[in-house]
Amino acid sequence: MDVITRSVRLRTVVEMVESGSAFTSRDLAARIHVTPARLRRLFKDETGVCLGEWLTEQRLLRAAHLLTNSYLSVKEITHSVGYEHPSSFIRAFERRFTQTPTLYRRRSAD
């Protein structure tokens, strides 16, 4: 795969994630016609960042934005950013922001 093709494919992945929709690495790989393993390798080679870590960071940043700029419940935000279970989302959010989503929302409102 040449450099231009690789760049176009990765730009497509980034645009899909930044659109605000929830995607899995499998969804992203299918969209650019590569296997999930190949996508992870391409992403790591181009950016130096693991795809899974980057996706998690993007989801949590989107969740933080929704917590401060919407009235969606934590459960609704959980699903809109791509987590199946609120408990998994809350754990990941606490690891990233060192506070629960509810506390984050309350503090950002003050």
Give per-residue pLDDT as tens, 50-102: 999 999 999 999 999 999 999 999 999 999 999 999 999 999 999 999 999 99
pLDDT tens, position by position, 91-103: 999 999 999 999 9
Q: Are 56 and 92 in contact (CB under 8 A)?
A: yes
pTM of the predicted model as reported, rounded to 2 decimal places: 0.87
> Looking at the predicted structure, is the pLDDT value of residue 107 above 80?
yes
